[in-house]
Structure 1
Amino acid sequence: FLLSGVADGLYHVIRLGVFLGLLFYLRWDLTLLSLVIVPLFWRAARHFSRLVREASRERRRRSGSLSAVAEESLGNVALVQAYNRQAWEERRFERENVGKFQASMTTARIRAVYRPVVELIEVSGGLAVMGLGTWKLAQGQLTLGGLLVFLALIGKLYSPIRDLSRLGNTFYAASASAERIIELLDQRPQVVESADARRIGRARGEVEFESVSFRYPGTPTLALSEVSFHVSPGETLALVGASGAGKSTAAKLLLRFYDPDRGAVRLDGTGLPELALSDVRESLAVVLQETLVFHGTVRENIAYGRPGATDAEIVAAARAADAHDFIRLLPDGYDTMVGQRGRTLSGGQRQRLAIARAMIRDAPVLLLDEPTTGLDARSGLRVMDPLRRLMAGRTTVVISHNLLTVRDATRIVVLDHGRVLETGTHDDLLARGGAYAGLHRLHAVPGPVRAGGPLPGTVPS
């Protein structure tokens, strides 16, 4: 509409002005009669434009739903096939497709009815002018040539009026599409960087939560309530607890995906809202429970942690993450395409790729969110040594519900329903016999001992 509609509208207005001037110059009385039907044009355009807008809005909504169903079904095709739900997904796609078809047909029917209505109004106006002109011709007030010229110009007058009314329908159809764009543009981020945010460069890595309380938007209960802890540079803090205890929420606040409702999250003694958002996130390296790998080469995925890294730095990070050996065996080495979500790699290989990405970032604060969850014992063992190398000399926050992987932490914070139950070292918490000791007994499975720390899923004898 913006590309063509505005120019067309200006063109129709100029045509309307020219022919209206000519008609008033020839016969002002017949011209006034010809304009009597203009309100009818306007009312018809208003009525049908409203219908077109509603139908177009529904058509756009159905189109979005159709795309969403297709993307969701194809993105989870392995699950669909594993549960033999192909027919159900086809019916769901068909249902959305039929809905879009019906909305499109409604729009087509409205436009099909609108055209003859406008033409009927136009013919009515022409007949009224022709009737009055014929009467004036019979009275000798108008010549036959004058009447024929006037009737010819009347057709030229009604043409831009008709086109303007149709343009109105186009405008309302375009506005229905614009509404969906405006809905997106009206969305606001959960956090906004303040105008006077400070730049800190490379942080030392001191992390502090002071009486932090937070509730997710639209939820009635607090995800965190009066949570406090402190991590000095080079220390390791473990957040443990059952699912839903608030561990991942604390990580999101540290990454400043959200701001706390009460209390403060500080980096190097300064509240995160006072710092430049880019500096806050540049100060953190993250290894998540769900290993995120992009469709691209191994090299690109590792360099995602620090764009502009040299090949030597990429290889060094891969070696430190114990990933270099398996990368060399890939068909094209570091230039091998890993597929969407890294589907050509095993879970352990993807995790080591994520560790290499965190290695090359070389951030002062490291956030590990269930780094060994979903890996078998052998794969978990392979990533433990790279994780220890990654944690060395960095402020580390480890999030885990598996207590057997956090025993070497400087300090352990036990969370339950968003509250801090206990804080201390592994040995201190076991000696207290409280919540941590109870959780530890649930995870305690006799197994082998390994120098440098326990195996995932085992406990030292």
Structure 2
Amino acid sequence: DITELAHHGPENLLISAIKIAGAFIILMNTHVGLTMVLLIFTVLMVLFTFFYRKKMFRSFMDNRVKIANVNAIVNDSLSGIRTVQSYSQEEVELEKFYVGNQEFYQSKKNMYTVMGTYHSTNGFLQGLLYVVTIVAGGFYVVRGTINPGDLYLFVLYINMFLQPVRTLIQFNEQLQQGMTGFFRMCQILDTEPEIQDLPGAIDAGLLRGDIKFEGVTFKYKDADDSVLTDFSLDIKAKHSVALVGPSGVGKSTICSLIPRFYDVDEGAITIDGIDIRNMTLRSLRDNIAMVQQDVYLFNSSVRDNIAYGQYDASDEQIIAAAKQANIHDFIMTLSKGYDTMVGERGVRFSGGEKQRISIARAFLRNPPILILDEATSSLDNVSERAVQESLDRLSRDRTTIVIAHRLSTVRNADEILVLSETGITERGTHDGLMARGGEYAGYYQVQFEDLSVVKEGA
């Protein structure tokens, strides 16, 4: 719609304006009185179009919002198609689509009603113009101010005058459609991200990775309670710290605050003594790599997925990263090797294979700070062992923050922090915490008792 408006709009305006001006001059020379009647009806059509345009704009905008909702429903259903099928919820998703489609249908119906009223009213005014012109012309013929031949000629010229007027009426519809599309696009483009570079933010350069949380309080938007309250933590550069504890105590939140996915409400987070809010987002995040439980692979080649964010990397660097992540041998078994397409969201690969591609991506990035968020929690034991070897190699000589429910994966951490709703309840090495016999030892014992039961049952 925007392209059509930009392409044909100026052309239609110019040609119609020239035709209207030429026809008006001819009609004025034919009969001034009848031309004034014509002018009155033209003004009425212009006024109607002017005041009706807001209604048209609202109708077109609502239509775009509704179709966007339908697209979102379809995308949501297709993205979660495996979950939908595994829970036999096809009917539920169809119902969602039906509801969204009905809303779009009603919006479209309302739009056609609005446009029908617009065109029929303008058509009525044009028809009425002919009737009034003929009646007024008959009056002038009787009075002798115009002869029948000139009246007939005048009526023919009315059509020449109205033809560009009809074009402009159609153009107004095109204008409103184009403007709603442009307005909708501007709404999206003008949406300001909540997290932005502050004025005067500096390029952090290459950081060492000394991370400090200083009295941090944070609450998610629209949440009632704070996830972190007056939370303090000191992570030395090139040390590994594991965060353990029940769900909901803020482990993932801590990891999300470091790359500034959110800003703290109170307190500060510093890296190498610099408040992360005073760094540019680009320079801060260039120093961080994340390996998460839910790995996202783009519908591109294996090569492009490993090199994501490092597109200038050479083939040798990509292969070296893949070897470090224990995924090179698997890639070479694929039909096209590194040029093999991974499919949407990496659907062709297993969880362990996707994790190792994600780890290769982190190896290639080679950052001073590494965040591992439940990186092995969804894997089987064989895959976990292969991935864990890669993660251990990746973590060397980096500041590493690890979140894990499987405590066997954090035994080698320099420090383990046990979190609860009140903050840090225990901290120390694996051996130290086990000797203390506190919460961590309890978690560890319960987890390995469960594992023993599973083995005995097998």
**Same fold by TM-score greater than 0.5:** yes
Corresponding letter in the other structure for 1:108: Y
| Counterparts of 1:118 and 1:61, CA distance in 2 | 28
Matching residue of 1:233: 237
C-alpha contact (below 8 Å) 1:45/1:166 kept by paired residues:
no
Corresponding letter in the other structure for 2:231: V
Pairwise CA distance, 1:244: 1.2
Superimposed CA distance per residue, residues 200-238 of structure 1 (whole angstroms, 9 cap, x where no aligned partner): 322122222111112222222212222211222211112
Matching residue of 2:76: 72
Superimposed CA distance per residue, residues 373-413 of structure 1 (whole angstroms, 9 cap, x where no aligned partner): 11112221222222111111111111223333223222223
C-alpha contact (below 8 Å) 1:305/1:358 kept by paired residues:
no
Corresponding letter in the other structure for 2:427: T
Matching residue of 1:396: 400
For the residue of structure 2 that corresponds to 1:4, the secondary structure is: helix
Q: Larger deviation: 217-226 or 438-447?
A: 438-447
For the residue of structure 2 that corresponds to 1:309, the secondary structure is: coil
Superimposed CA distance per residue, residues 215-272 of structure 1 (whole angstroms, 9 cap, x where no aligned partner): 2222222122222112222111122221111111111111111221111121221111
Matching residue of 1:212: 216
Q: Percent identity?
A: 33
Pairwise CA distance, 1:137: 2.2
Question: Do the aligned partners of residues 247 and 105 (structure 1) sit closer, same or farther apart at CA in structure 2, a change above 3 Å counting?
Answer: same
Question: Do the aligned partners of residues 446 and 23 (structure 1) sit closer, same or farther apart at CA in structure 2, a change above 3 Å counting?
Answer: closer
Question: Do the aligned partners of residues 142 and 274 (structure 1) sit closer, same or farther apart at CA in structure 2, a change above 3 Å counting?
Answer: same
Counterpart among 147, 154, 168 of residue 143 in structure 1: 147
Corresponding letter in the other structure for 2:327: A
Question: Do the aligned partners of residues 134 and 275 (structure 1) sit closer, same or farther apart at CA in structure 2, a change above 3 Å counting?
Answer: same
Matching residue of 1:451: none
Question: Do the aligned partners of residues 136 and 297 (structure 1) sit closer, same or farther apart at CA in structure 2, a change above 3 Å counting?
Answer: closer
Matching residue of 1:355: 359
| Counterparts of 1:210 and 1:2, CA distance in 2 | 54
Question: Do the aligned partners of residues 123 and 339 (structure 1) sit closer, same or farther apart at CA in structure 2, a change above 3 Å counting?
Answer: closer
| Counterparts of 2:388 and 2:309, CA distance in 1 | 20
Matching residue of 2:169: 165
Superposed, which structure 2 residues align to 1:248-267 within 5 Å? Answer: 248-267=252-271
Matching residue of 2:33: 29
| Counterparts of 2:14 and 2:420, CA distance in 1 | 66
Pairwise CA distance, 1:29: 2.8
Matching residue of 1:454: none
For the residue of structure 1 that corresponds to 2:66, the secondary structure is: helix
| Counterparts of 2:8 and 2:187, CA distance in 1 | 24
Corresponding letter in the other structure for 1:149: L
Question: Do the aligned partners of residues 13 and 432 (structure 1) sit closer, same or farther apart at CA in structure 2, a change above 3 Å counting?
Answer: farther
| Counterparts of 2:304 and 2:123, CA distance in 1 | 62
Alignment length (residue pairs): 450
C-alpha contact (below 8 Å) 1:347/1:375 kept by paired residues:
yes
Pairwise CA distance, 1:368: 0.8
Pairwise CA distance, 1:20: 2.9
Query: In the alignment, is residue 268 of structure 1 matched against residue 278 of structure 2?
Result: no
Q: Larger deviation: 185-194 or 386-395?
A: 185-194
For the residue of structure 2 that corresponds to 1:396, the secondary structure is: strand
Question: Do the aligned partners of residues 432 and 18 (structure 1) sit closer, same or farther apart at CA in structure 2, a change above 3 Å counting?
Answer: farther
Matching residue of 2:376: 372
Pairwise CA distance, 1:113: 4.4
Question: Do the aligned partners of residues 262 and 54 (structure 1) sit closer, same or farther apart at CA in structure 2, a change above 3 Å counting?
Answer: same
| Counterparts of 1:8 and 1:330, CA distance in 2 | 57
Superposed, which structure 2 residues align to 1:262-411 within 5 Å? Answer: 262-304=266-308, 306-411=310-415
C-alpha contact (below 8 Å) 1:330/1:336 kept by paired residues:
yes
Pairwise CA distance, 1:89: 3.2
| Counterparts of 1:323 and 1:431, CA distance in 2 | 38
For the residue of structure 2 that corresponds to 1:2, the secondary structure is: helix
Question: Do the aligned partners of residues 123 and 331 (structure 1) sit closer, same or farther apart at CA in structure 2, a change above 3 Å counting?
Answer: closer
Show structure 2 runs of 5+ residues with no match. none
Matching residue of 1:440: 444
C-alpha contact (below 8 Å) 1:359/1:390 kept by paired residues:
yes
| Counterparts of 1:99 and 1:287, CA distance in 2 | 40
Superimposed CA distance per residue, residues 23-75 of structure 1 (whole angstroms, 9 cap, x where no aligned partner): 33443332222222234324543565455444433432332232223222222
Matching residue of 2:61: 57
| Counterparts of 1:116 and 1:282, CA distance in 2 | 60
C-alpha contact (below 8 Å) 1:48/1:110 kept by paired residues:
no
Q: TM-score, normalised by structure 1?
A: 0.88
Corresponding letter in the other structure for 1:271: D
Question: Do the aligned partners of residues 429 and 45 (structure 1) sit closer, same or farther apart at CA in structure 2, a change above 3 Å counting?
Answer: same
| Counterparts of 1:380 and 1:111, CA distance in 2 | 61
C-alpha contact (below 8 Å) 2:31/2:146 kept by paired residues:
no
Superposed, which structure 2 residues align to 1:70-149 within 5 Å? Answer: 70-149=74-153
Corresponding letter in the other structure for 2:358: A
C-alpha contact (below 8 Å) 2:388/2:409 kept by paired residues:
no
| Counterparts of 1:15 and 1:244, CA distance in 2 | 71
